[in-house]
Amino acid sequence: MALCCRDLFQLKNFSRAKLLAGERGLYREISWPYVRMTESISQWLYGKELIFVTYTDIGKDDNSFLLLIEECIYKNLSGIVILIDDKHISSIPKIIIDRANEADFPVFIMPWNIKLIDITQEILFKSEQKQEEKKNAKGFLESIIFSQHHLQEDVHALAEFYNIKLKHFHYICIFKMENTSQNTDNISYDLEQISKYIIHSLEEELNINNKTIIPMEYASSLMFLIFTNDYQEGKKSLEVVEAVFNLVNIRYPEIKSSLSFSRIRESNSDIKISYKEAFKALSMIDICNRDSRIIKYNELGIIRWLVEVSDIKEIQEYCYENLGPILEHDKNHGMDLMGTLKCYLQNNRHLLKTSQELFIHRNTLIYRLSIIKELLKIDLDDAMIDLELFNSILIYEFINLQNKNPL
């Protein structure tokens, strides 16, 4: 909810500005407007400033112009505003535009005769307003999630105190991100930029449609509490969140991302429950072994029951009764009959699909299945037996995930 470059177009005194380059960087946050007074800027800035320059100061030398852009990018500034008259706009070198687009660095142009005092005051006022909104949203969410139980009237009282607009339905989603790139130099910076991109993308898409969205960052995850007017509107907004998630995966392939959803709930007194649902779903995503990294609590099936069980000794015994022989065989012979069985059942006992997914020959698969049948003394063509085996596998994986130790 911090002020970003995209928000500038909402300002009265920015109405005559145009974006020249760096459209993909409009999510960049603005900490402060700064008017360039010296040739070098690095020693005067901390990062995230929006810098104002006049074209007459930088337009005479393309190399100096490019060096300024490089310095802005290096210092992680939010963007640059060039004060220029119309006749010089076409004189801005292509190399400047290309470099800004490459670095997702916004370059704006504005009429040179605008009163900077007016635009800088408006930016500062809007920034303070955004910071207050962010503080209120975080306070509201933390008060509900990290405190004791709240009755519905307490939630409404908190919403009124923090100036949050409640709606009838809500859900919570959590983005989890992990950098898988071998280059670890800019991991924290990359995750920070991705978080900003996600927040501003969702705010832009959902706030336009009169929904209330509250983000909160923690560790390498992003949590959103999203309010909608009705259930169908909630489902549509959920699709928007999924679309943004898919765009993140395309745009940042080096980042391993996961996304979880709680159920869409009507009662605002259940916000804390929704948080637990989204968190539990996220922790189960590896067990479900999905091609997609998106998981919804209401699609967890038997896992929903498992995560609520406090004493798992009985289900441990149930699991071992069904799978014990192949677990022992895998341990003693270095095979993966468990993985083979799971893949086979997930593919509805389709031999070709299973062998292709496991990267083994069809005859190898048949051989492994024959060992499984012999060890378990069962018929894998029996649907009820298959169901019991698959549930046992899910239980086994769940227990190992919880205990970090094999049975």
pLDDT band for position 151 (cuts 50, 70, 90)? low
For residues 111 and 157, membership in a common domain is answered with no
pLDDT band at 391 (very low <50, low <70, confident <90, very high): confident
Identify whether residues 220 and 323 lie together within a single domain.
no
Compute the average pLDDT of residues 243-270: 89
How much of the chain exceeds pLDDT 90, in percent?
A: 39
Token pair, residue 405, equals 């130790």
pLDDT of 173 higher than 80: yes
And the tokens for 338? Answer: 């468990």
Q: Within a domain: residue 388?
A: yes
CATH number assigned to the domain comprising residue 170: 3.30.70.270
Tokens of 359: 């990267």
Count other C-beta atoms under 10 Å from residue 382's C-beta: 11
In this structure, what is the dihedral angle of CA atoms 290, 293, 297, 299, given to the nearest 10 degrees?
Answer: -30
The domain containing residue 282 runs over which residues? 148-304
- CB distance 15 to 106 below 8 Å: no
Residues 346 and 299 in one domain: no
- Both 283 and 181 in a single domain? yes
Q: Within this chain, do residues 254 and 337 fall inside the same structural domain, yes or no?
A: no
What is d(CA 127, CA 118) in angstroms, rounded to the nearest whole number?
14
**Residue 383 and residue 335 share a domain:** yes
Please work out, in degrees rounded to the nearest 5, the angle formed at the alpha carbon of residue 367 by the alpha carbons of 362 and 369: 95
Q: Which of 7-16, 82-91, 206-215, 396-405 has the highest mean pLDDT?
A: 7-16
Displacement of CA 288 from its chain's centroid (Å): 19
pLDDT reading at 200 higher than 90: no
Please say if the pLDDT value at position 152 is more than 70: no
Euclidean distance between CA atoms 12 and 14, whole angstroms:
5
**Domain end marker among 277, 304, 331:** 304
Q: For residue range 292-330, what is the model confidence (pLDDT) as tens digits?
A: 789 999 888 777 776 666 566 777 788 888 899 999 999
Selection from 89, 88, 99, 43 nearest residue 66 by Cα: 99
Regarding whether 173 and 298 lie in a shared domain, the answer is: yes
The alpha-carbon radius of gyration of the chain (Å, integer) is: 27
Q: Are 184 and 158 in contact (CB under 8 A)?
A: no
Last residue within a domain, chosen from 107, 122, 137: 122
Contact 308, 374 (CB under 8 A): no
Q: What's the sign of the alpha-carbon dihedral 387, 389, 393, 395?
A: positive
Rounded to the nearest integer, the mean pLDDT of the chain is 85
Residues composing the chain = 407
Q: In terms of DSSP H, where are the helices of 187-336?
A: 187-208, 231-251, 271-283, 285-288, 302-306, 313-333
Query: Is 11 part of any domain?
Result: yes
Q: Is the pLDDT of residue 22 over 70?
A: yes
The beta strands (E) that lie in 123-220 are given as 169-179, 212-218
Kindly report the CATH number assigned to the domain that includes residue 31: 3.40.1390.20
Could you say which DSSP state residue 266 is in? S
- Structure tokens given for 183: 């280059």
If asked whether residues 296 and 154 sit together in one domain, one would say: yes
Residue carrying the six token digits 């459209």? 23
Residue position matching structure tokens 């339905």 = 169
Q: How many domains does the chain have?
A: 3
| Structure confidence at residue 150 (pLDDT) | 54
